[in-house]
Amino acid sequence: MGFQYFAGAALRALTARKDGPSLYDVCDPVLLNYRGGDPHLGKFYKTALGNPALRPLLRRTGLPALNDEGRLQRLRAALTHARDAAEPDWAAVGAPIAELMADIGVEHPQPAKVAATARAPAAAEIERVIRRCGAHLLGSFAKNGFIPTYAAFNLLGDPDMGGREMLMALTGLNARGYKNSTLLFNLARIFIAHSPARALINPPWTGIAEPMWEPVQIRHRSAYYDAFFTEALLSFVETGLASGEEIAASQRAIADMVEFCLKTSAEEVPSHDGSKVRVVTALAPGSGPRFSRFFAQIKQDLGFGIYVPDCDTTACSFSAATQAGSTDPILDQPLLDFYRGYQVREGANEPRVTVPLNDHVDYEGGVVTWIDNLAGERPYGNDLDPTLNLDILEVSFRHLGRWKILETPQRLETVHRIIGFQRKLAESGAFAQPRSHIYYLPELYSAYFGRCHAAFMALPLVARQAIDPDGHFEFIRGKVLAYVEGELITREMNAFDAALALMALAHLGADVATFAPALHCIVAHFGEGGRHGPYKAYEWNKMKTPTRILVGGPEVTSAFVLMGLALARRKMAKR
């Protein structure tokens, strides 16, 4: 898609024939200027929806359904209640919006089947890409003082967020600002879905992971990202393809990122036994995230004023630091004791999942996402993501002896129950459904299962038998490989999809002949990133609320391509 596509979409949006009240006809009388009530709702409306960039694109999009005066007034009354009530009835507020969301028609991508690639690229081509991706990461660190990642908004929203799920979010989230932004973003989705601007805001793409279009990308730093950049640079050094200077630069960057994870981003939180535990938050306090002043204010206006720690960032940070050889005392904490308090037990603490967007999944045994801070704040309520639970298993395997997991029945039981949760997910096939995942996509789950499986297989046989006496890991391995080999690599992929496919195939012991489609895709798309790097930015992870917020970046793609190619190259050398 080039200039002609986007220019045509913009022209059609600016000249559309209006048939019914627009978003601004609905909201301006209620939210543009008012006194009293909740000031954040109006501030959010002006910042995110009523701004000079979006207003011209949507001002001519009307909803015929709102030509019904009674329906229009009920919608305005709901917004007024959200604005003025000290404690709004959020289910009632969201009801007229949920009703209008029935036909927005947002769907997951369905890549077309493609002919199988017969031959893998030459070793020299693979090594050229590895070297370039490693240099890209190191060059970015040298330029910025960290390796940045980016967030971008897709205002059309997530395919898994229908009216029912929007109501779940409104009633399950805690922070009022976050409820406000979820409410209004979902109202805007309805108008965008019926506007020619839809083609501009959500253009089509190749593969599964969504490309991140350049406008409105927010650059920042997070311990979660630093943990995976650490693993990528460790992988680069292990390939033997880095120069002496690059090895030294990698070691300096790794040391800095480990310190950012374990020191800068660490905070103390209460555990469920009354003790205190040091965990890791995704957005460090103060200037740690490296937001510009402009975007720091936007973050506040959008309802992200409080950011609490999470189980996933903590697990990944501990794992990366351990792989890097850190001996920081924070790593001695047996996290499984802490995670046990956030583990769902059927009938006992299932209400811990307050935003059950993937409620077709059996949560029993899974660990939820968000950690209460010392003040007891939980702005996002809580949800449960399968991939996060893989990261908890992976870090537990790396700390099996240090945390005395086999010697401590309670810790071993916690591991058994997480594995049981994953087994049920594989048995049902739910792992391959995008709706099952809160923050990720099925192909990323597959890559992360491969990563987790590799850590499991590195353990002594007696330990593996104690951890998984019923062979659940082998069962899940078969299901994941069948998905990657039978679905993912048989369809159109982008470079990010291909990197994740390679990670899964290589870690799970697939025949090296199956690497060819992913290797071919990666080499064929080399250079697509232009001045930003070897590859474009793609969706690594996402948030479904308050709208679809994608996180990734050119550096992220380079990191995953590097890791995928390094794994594949090692397996191919042993053939």
Same domain for 166 and 273, yes or no, is no
Kindly state whether residue 334 falls inside one of the protein's structural domains.
yes
Kindly state whether residue 118 falls inside one of the protein's structural domains.
no
Same domain for 74 and 187, yes or no, is yes
Same domain for 523 and 395, yes or no, is yes
Q: Give the count of beta carbons closer than 10 Å to the beta carbon of residue 348.
A: 10
Same domain for 407 and 504, yes or no, is yes
- Phi, psi (deg, nearest 5) at residue 540: -95, -55
CA 364 centroid distance within chain: 22
Query: What's the Cα-to-Cα distance from 214 to each of 61, 152, 205, rounded to whole Å?
Result: 25, 8, 14
Nearest-angstrom CA–CA distance, 414 and 404:
13
Nearest-angstrom CA–CA distance, 389 and 384:
9
Nearest-angstrom CA–CA distance, 44 and 82:
13
Kindly state whether residue 266 falls inside one of the protein's structural domains.
yes
> DSSP assignment of 465-532, as one string?
HHH-TT-HHHHHHHHHHHHHHHTGGGB---HHHHHHHHHHHHHTT--GGGGHHHHHHHHHTTTTTGGG
Same domain for 555 and 455, yes or no, is yes
Could you tell me if residue 309 is left (phi over 0), alpha (psi between -120 and 50 degrees) or otherwise beta?
Answer: beta
> DSSP assignment of 372-431, as one string?
--TT---TT-----HHHHHHHHHHHHHTTTTTTTTT-HHHHHHHHHHHHHHHHHHHHTGG
Question: DSSP code of 121?
Answer: P
pLDDT of residue 349: 47
Name residues whose C-beta falls within 8 Å of residue 473's C-beta, 6 or more positions apart in sequence.
419, 453, 456, 464
Q: What is the pLDDT along the chain (575 residues), one digit of tens a residue?
A: 666 777 777 777 778 788 899 999 999 999 999 999 999 999 999 988 998 888 988 988 999 999 999 999 999 999 999 999 999 999 999 999 999 999 899 999 999 999 987 789 999 999 999 999 999 999 999 999 999 999 998 999 999 999 999 999 999 999 999 999 999 999 999 999 998 888 888 888 999 999 998 655 788 999 999 999 999 999 999 999 999 999 999 999 999 999 999 999 999 999 988 899 999 998 888 777 776 665 666 666 666 667 789 999 999 999 999 999 999 999 999 999 999 999 998 765 456 899 999 999 999 999 999 999 888 888 889 999 999 999 999 999 999 999 999 999 999 999 999 999 999 999 999 999 999 999 999 999 999 999 999 999 999 999 999 999 999 999 999 999 999 999 999 999 999 999 999 999 999 999 999 999 999 999 999 999 999 999 999 999 999 999 999 999 999 999 999 999 999 999 999 87
CA 310 centroid distance within chain: 13
pLDDT of residue 455: 98
Chain length of the chain: 575
pLDDT of residue 298: 65
Nearest-angstrom CA–CA distance, 182 and 187:
9
Question: DSSP code of 572?
Answer: H
> CATH number of the domain that 395 lies in?
1.50.10.20
Same domain for 69 and 129, yes or no, is no
Same domain for 347 and 483, yes or no, is yes
HSE, side-chain direction, 13 A CA sphere, residue 317: 34
Kindly state whether residue 115 falls inside one of the protein's structural domains.
no
Of 147, 155, 48, nearest in space to 549 by CA: 155
Are 210 and 550 in contact by the 8 Å Cβ rule? The answer is: yes
Kindly state whether residue 463 falls inside one of the protein's structural domains.
yes
Same domain for 239 and 339, yes or no, is yes
Q: Give the count of beta carbons closer than 10 Å to the beta carbon of residue 252.
A: 14
Kindly state whether residue 235 falls inside one of the protein's structural domains.
yes
Kindly state whether residue 117 falls inside one of the protein's structural domains.
no
- Phi, psi (deg, nearest 5) at residue 82: -65, -30
Same domain for 175 and 220, yes or no, is no
Same domain for 49 and 130, yes or no, is no
- State how many domains the chain has: 2
At 569, list the tokens: 């190259």
416 residue type, one letter: H
Q: Give the residue numbers spanning the domain of 360.
A: 123-154+202-573
- Phi, psi (deg, nearest 5) at residue 41: -60, -45
Kindly state whether residue 274 falls inside one of the protein's structural domains.
yes
Which spans in 271-399 are helix H? 293-301, 311-323, 335-340, 386-398
Nearest-angstrom CA–CA distance, 187 and 248:
51
Same domain for 230 and 100, yes or no, is no
Same domain for 132 and 174, yes or no, is no
Determine the number of helices (DSSP H) and then strands (DSSP E) in the chain: 23, 6
Q: Which secondary-structure segment (H or E) carries 302? A: none
pLDDT of residue 538: 97
Are 21 and 63 in contact by the 8 Å Cβ rule? The answer is: yes
